[in-house]
Structure 1
Amino acid sequence: MYLYDELGTALFEAITLLPEYGLTRAEERLLRRHAGDMLEHLPPPVAVVELGSGSGRKTRWILEALADREPVAYFPIDISAAALIKCHQELGNVGAISIVGLEKSYLEGLQEAATRRRSNQALLVLFLGSTIGNFDPPAAEKFLRDIRRHLKPGDALLLGADVKKSVHDMLLAYDDPAGVTAAFNRNLLARINRELGGDFILRYFEHHVRYQEMDCRIEMHLRSTRRQTVSIRAADFTCVFREGETIWTEACHKFRVEEIPGIARRTGFLCEAQWIDTEWAFVENLLIAD
């Protein structure tokens, strides 16, 4: 979460446009082509809640398809105020939609949105972008169970999941030649310096990406290029880094299409349908609360 201050959010939006990062375009293709099919599984009326909305660009396809049949209440949830402002700008022109942005964590926002729904209204929760892959597998299943606890039977979760592909393509997606992802990663240190009184020297840390085959996981690290001592004043913390030692900043687990229904069953859902992009292996999963 600490990666996403205002600059981090802007850098991530830039990452989604990079040619090496096919994930976002794959999901947009699926939503553009199949939004109507997805909504056929959900009888009206439906309120839409999006966990980690960002700019909401991909969500347009779902909201427009839904607005064609009924007025839509949309609750984007994000910890970034800048992202919520951009979301309003991006989606404010969609007809028959009311937008209530919630600057909260995922579950706090979901809890509030669930209390605002009408008594006869189902919830469609969107958790897109393969953000579920940022959790390790046990934590991912716990998080899905936590989502389920806020839902009623028949509510739905649309879960985007990036699928395992060639190691070359996966590494390139997180280590682009233009250095945008590197800037996104280093911005974490800049934020610690600014907000917590850290004294990281950013040029002494390099962006490093690796793939862990056993766990089917991409890892982003910041690797110290020399022996150095760093302090964070607000945490009363000092650390000595050896040359080559890393700070592990993010994990991105990749999935197999066939494992999603089992994950759904173990967390209180049924996998109603799946849509798969063939240009960049990615799967959109419609899970129904059991």
Structure 2
Amino acid sequence: MSPLSITRTLPPDATAAALRADVAEGLSRTPKQLPPKWFYDARGSELFDEITTLPEYYPTRAEREILRATADRIAATGARTLIELGSGSSDKTRHLLRALTGLHSYLPVDVSESALRAAGEALLAEHPGLTVHALVADFQRGLTLPKTPGPRLLAFLGGTIGNLLPQERAAFLDSVHELLDPGDALLLGTDLVKDEATLVAAYDDARGVTAAFNKNVLEVINRELGGDFDPADFEHVARWNAEREWIEMRLRARDDLTVKIPGVDLAVPFAAGEELRTEVSAKFREDGVRSELAAAGLKLTEWWTDSAGRYALSLALRI
């Protein structure tokens, strides 16, 4: 068997069908909204990579600091299989792969086959004894894992769990419980509640990179569905919702306008000042994370933060 194999569990047209469904449903409702996954075409991924280097955007640096400091302690799980959801370029997992000396298999999961192939080939060059079995899949639409040696460590990094609404998080954590066997572990990255100014700045940087990233979803709709959005008609908005403890990214129409989207047979009216929500990014507290994990049959056993206490990695065992 080749050390790199790729299994596609998504039909070839699944991404296009999901985009049509999300745009048709999200832009027909009041208030209007879209899920954040549509930011990440090739251009959106480039912009996000740039965001992670900005001085205002601390989560990536904070998570990297924790991974470097705790990799050996994470390795103490004895994991022989590492599963990573939303793996992308697999950059963050390199710290884990170096520490997990007994690792047999790495299972990256992503919707992009090209990203999985590039990451898998790069990792095999660095770790020639590793077996990489990549899965082209959407982890929110059900996931079946191939047989691999245990114990297994499932990593969900980057604070991506914050993009899920509370009911979606509960369903996701339930699905993690079903994927894992007793004694397997979940490594979870969560951004933490902190002062509003720091949070808003992370999503509204001075150079306007996040604004361009936010507006890129309009370009995706134009390209894929024939829409006639003009990004200049919209203003980037980042707002802290103190009651729900999450950041909301929105696009605010500057004037009354109507957007035509032939690919879903829609004409979408916007009133001046009307907002389209494009992302929720929840922030967490340790007690809340512990409670949400416990509700899904996962026991938090380790809680690590960066030196500034801005971000956390937690380790939870399937019980």
**Shorter-chain TM-score: which interval?**
over 0.9
In the other structure, the counterpart of 1:58 is 92
TM-align CA RMSD = 1.6
Verify: 1:21 aligned to 2:54, yes or no.
no
Match among 195, 216, 233 for residue 166 of structure 1 = 195
2:39, 2:189 → 1: CA distance? 21
In the other structure, the counterpart of 1:202 is 231
In the other structure, the counterpart of 1:126 is 155
2:50, 2:248 → 1: CA distance? 20
1:101, 1:6 → 2: CA distance? 20
Verify: 1:8 aligned to 2:44, yes or no.
yes
| 3-state SS in 2 of match to 1:115 | coil
Whether the 8 Å CA contact 1:77–1:109 is kept in 2: the answer is: no
1:99: how far off?
Answer: 2.3
Over 3 Å counting, the alpha-carbon distance change for 1:190 and 1:4 in structure 2 is same
Verify: 1:103 aligned to 2:130, yes or no.
no
In the other structure, the counterpart of 2:123 is 91
Whether the 8 Å CA contact 2:81–2:103 is kept in 1: the answer is: no
2:294, 2:89 → 1: CA distance? 31
Over 3 Å counting, the alpha-carbon distance change for 1:83 and 1:180 in structure 2 is farther
Over 3 Å counting, the alpha-carbon distance change for 1:280 and 1:13 in structure 2 is farther
1:232: how far off?
Answer: 1.0
Whether the 8 Å CA contact 1:224–1:245 is kept in 2: the answer is: yes
Whether the 8 Å CA contact 1:64–1:94 is kept in 2: the answer is: no
In the other structure, the counterpart of 2:82 is 48
**Please, what TM-score do these two structures have when normalized by structure 1?**
0.92
Verify: 1:273 aligned to 2:302, yes or no.
yes
Q: Which runs of 5+ in 1 are unaligned?
A: none
2:88 corresponds to which letter in structure 1?
A: G
Whether the 8 Å CA contact 1:196–1:233 is kept in 2: the answer is: yes
1:85: how far off?
Answer: 4.2
Whether the 8 Å CA contact 2:97–2:103 is kept in 1: the answer is: no
Over 3 Å counting, the alpha-carbon distance change for 1:226 and 1:137 in structure 2 is same
Whether the 8 Å CA contact 1:47–1:117 is kept in 2: the answer is: yes
Match among 206, 210, 235 for residue 181 of structure 1 = 210
Whether the 8 Å CA contact 2:67–2:95 is kept in 1: the answer is: yes
Q: Percent identity?
A: 39
Q: Number of matched residues?
A: 282
1:256, 1:277 → 2: CA distance? 14
**Please, what TM-score do these two structures have when normalized by structure 2?**
0.84
| 3-state SS in 2 of match to 1:195 | helix
2:255, 2:285 → 1: CA distance? 39
In the other structure, the counterpart of 2:34 is none
| 3-state SS in 2 of match to 1:218 | strand
Whether the 8 Å CA contact 2:259–2:269 is kept in 1: the answer is: yes
Whether the 8 Å CA contact 1:9–1:54 is kept in 2: the answer is: no
1:151: how far off?
Answer: 1.5
Q: Which runs of 5+ in 2 are unaligned?
A: 1-36
Over 3 Å counting, the alpha-carbon distance change for 1:215 and 1:107 in structure 2 is closer
1:100: how far off?
Answer: 2.5
